Structure 1
Amino acid sequence: MGSSWRWHLSRTMRLAMRWCRGPQRGGGCGGNRPWISGRCFEVFVCLVILLTTSVVVIIYLFVLPTILSTYPLYMIVWHLCYGHWLLVMVVFHYYKATTTAAGSPPKEKTQIPAVSICKKCITPKPPRTHHCSICNQCVLKMDHHCPWLNNCVGHFNHRYFLSFCLYTTLGCVYCSISSKDMFLDAYNTIERYYQTPPPTEPYVESTAHKSIIFLWVLTSSVSVALGALSLWHMILISRGETSVERHINHKETRRLRDIGKVFKNPYHHGTMNNWKLLLGVEKRSHWFTRVLLPSSHPPNGDGILWEFSFSRRDPMAI
């Protein structure tokens, strides 16, 4: 048993280090970033993988046996199907978010639409493109640089990032609810032992109690924190904005208001259309095949040319 655990841990660490290296294809982060910042962010990726692995191990060792021995058959089937579906979706989207390059403008001197010149790259900057100081290059439709991915979130991996956040939140909520009764039992058992005066019966603080408490505290905390982050990004997507554009549009709205004009976001095509564009939903069946199942389909467009929701003569953000 001991050698088996060491072998699985070794495989997990090797996988973590492979993911930590970031995108391997061109056009994303990783090529020009400082060595120190790159190594620092690799720690965050390893932490995500190790914490996720610990949650899965605790579920299999302590929570699942309780479900199999106490729940009716239909509930067992539901837990097995729903839990493993969430696990597959979380692992798939995290892997794709970390290994898919966010995208950057072509280096060749081609005729591409540009709204400004990047002061650091000294190259034309297409609409919605912004410079990442960590990656040291421009990123197409840049949202932000995510340390938990060791990668920029941009045009080509924005969907993977959002899906990872949403499915991880759902998974943590599921684990927290499923282990609530076991957490209360473990907490009450430990509390009785440490009360004054302590009970006369002997007590052995088992690994199961510690593991269940760790599981519930971790998943409940992540549910709240990541749920709030997911909600914020859902609001931005509904408005047709990225995190960077949110700040730019806010400043532009105030500037135009002072001179009696109204700012309109040229990339806001309506809430539902914004979601369809991000998720790549082109027909009704795609809500199942591209949203509820793992899918590697590319995003709409190339991240350089963008369709405006109104005339380009109106005020717009760059």
Structure 2
Amino acid sequence: MRVCIGGGPVWRCVRVCCGRARWRVCVPACVRRLWAYAQLLARSLCFNTHTSCDTVNDTLFEPVFWLADRLTRLFGRVFVCMVIVLTSSIVLIAYLVLLPLVLRTYAPVWIVWHLCFGHWLIVMITFHYYKATCTPPGHPPQRKSELPFVSYCKKCVTPKPARTHHCGICNTCILKMDHHCPWLNNCVGHFNHRYFFSFCVVLTLGCVYCSISGRKLFIDAYNAMEHLKALEAEPAGVPVKGVGLLIGIVPPESSFQTPAPTFTLKDKLVNKSIIYMWVLTSTVAVALGGLTLWHAMLISRGETSIERHINKKERTRLAKRNRAYRNPFHYGWLNNWKHFLGVEKRSHWITRVLLPSGHPPFGDGFTWDVYPHRKHLVPV
């Protein structure tokens, strides 16, 4: 029996409703959410007539961005543990291997220099990494307040002050957001940007220091390990040319006999530790040094990593109209550094820059001074 209501059979509506019910019962909720998300992405490709290539590309790569954000959030603590383990291993090698060698062979003046400079680096690296990891970058208020804001966040549905951007990994808006750093498991924003940059500077400086000062030790350790391999590979009675060694092998008394290797397990560990330290510090010095120089350039221009791309697009857009774009937050490179480091007087270059300091940055991150021309922010 079929009963038609409004020109349509009831049994067809019942079949559709039953099919939807079976879909909700049989399919897990996570699969249904992914299916709805895929449908939303497909519909967003033809949202309106103003859809551009950038919109289509962003929509197509949205699943990739989503996966990268989830993986970064998941492995954030793993990256922090890696930084702690690698840094601690270098400090351990310095104390157990390099320090006794320095005390035995170096002049007193150089001993004092290495002890003071090395411990200053350790204190600065530990302090700034801890502060950069544990200090919240700053978040705008969740509700509309009297603070000025320039737009609304489409994901948080909250007002956004100037220089505020949404972080997909932290799933919240960040004041003066620069980027999300997986090695900190934290966003780099208004209240911890200085800690992040100082950590990059001192860690790069420490890696360069270890790489340069340990170059001769690395060469000796490498030659020692290569000579040991040659001794183990050659049969007895074959002469082997001696090379400069760091630890372990006694020079041969006769050139017609191959000396037996006298390397102990401790000698091998010492040489391998020196090789490991030099390779790791040299690699980090090159990679992190490039990142540090990039951020130093951005600070000199009064920009963040996100604002760098925004300002570039604005310059291109206004150049087509024969107009010039000026960054409203650029106060001159010296004033930018003073503002970034929190320097108010000359003594602060020592107490707030060369020594660990937990002073807050200028401003609250909600409002920003806009200077049409260069002028000194603070007397120094």
Out of 128, 145, 148, the position equivalent to 1:110 is 145
Q: Deviations over 1:132-183 (max 9, x none)?
A: 0000010000000000000000000000000000000011111112211111
Superposed counterparts of 1:238-257, under 5 Å: 238-257=300-319
For 2:358 and 2:194, the matched residues in 1 are separated by 10
CA shift for structure 1 position 36: 5.9
Q: Does 1:275 align with 2:337?
A: yes
For 1:98 and 1:304, the matched residues in 2 are separated by 22
The corresponding residue for 1:67 is: 102
For 1:168 and 1:117, the matched residues in 2 are separated by 38
Q: Deviations over 1:186-212 (max 9, x none)?
A: 101112233496443333361001100
The corresponding residue for 1:201 is: 259
Superposed counterparts of 1:43-122, under 5 Å: 43-122=78-157
Q: Does 1:189 align with 2:251?
A: no
Out of 205, 209, 217, the position equivalent to 1:170 is 205
Letter paired with 2:142? K
Q: Does 1:308 align with 2:370?
A: yes
Q: Deviations over 1:64-122 (max 9, x none)?
A: 11111111101100100000001100000000000000001012331121111111011
For 2:78 and 2:300, the matched residues in 1 are separated by 32
Out of 177, 180, 192, the position equivalent to 1:142 is 177
Letter paired with 1:249? N
For 2:348 and 2:268, the matched residues in 1 are separated by 47
**Partner SS state of residue 187, structure 2:** strand
Q: What's the TM-score once normalised by structure 2's chain length?
A: 0.71
For 1:202 and 1:101, the matched residues in 2 are separated by 60
Out of 170, 176, 192, the position equivalent to 1:157 is 192
For 1:117 and 1:150, the matched residues in 2 are separated by 26
Q: Mind listing any 5+ residue stretches in structure 1 that lack a counterpart?
A: 1-33, 312-318
Q: Which runs of 4+ in 1 moved over 6 A?
A: none
Out of 249, 252, 277, the position equivalent to 1:215 is 277
Letter paired with 1:250? K
**Partner SS state of residue 79, structure 2:** helix
CA shift for structure 1 position 37: 4.2
Larger RCO of the pair (alpha carbons < 8 Å, separation 6+): 1
Q: Which has the larger radius of gyration?
A: 2
1:45–1:258 Cα change, 3 Å: same
**Partner SS state of residue 57, structure 1:** helix
Letter paired with 2:363? G
The corresponding residue for 1:4 is: none
Please tell me the root mean square deviation across aligned C-alpha atoms, in Å.
Answer: 1.5
Q: Deviations over 1:295-317 (max 9, x none)?
A: 00000000000000229xxxxxx
Identity of aligned residues (%): 61
Letter paired with 2:140? P
The corresponding residue for 1:17 is: none
Q: What's the TM-score once normalised by structure 1's chain length?
A: 0.85
Would the aligned equivalents of 2:72 and 2:182 in 1 still touch at CA under 8 Å?
A: no
The corresponding residue for 2:286 is: 224
Letter paired with 2:95? Y
Q: How many residues align?
A: 278
**Partner SS state of residue 126, structure 2:** helix
Q: Mind listing any 5+ residue stretches in structure 2 that lack a counterpart?
A: 1-68, 235-239, 241-257, 374-380
**Partner SS state of residue 145, structure 1:** strand
For 2:208 and 2:135, the matched residues in 1 are separated by 27
The corresponding residue for 1:41 is: 76
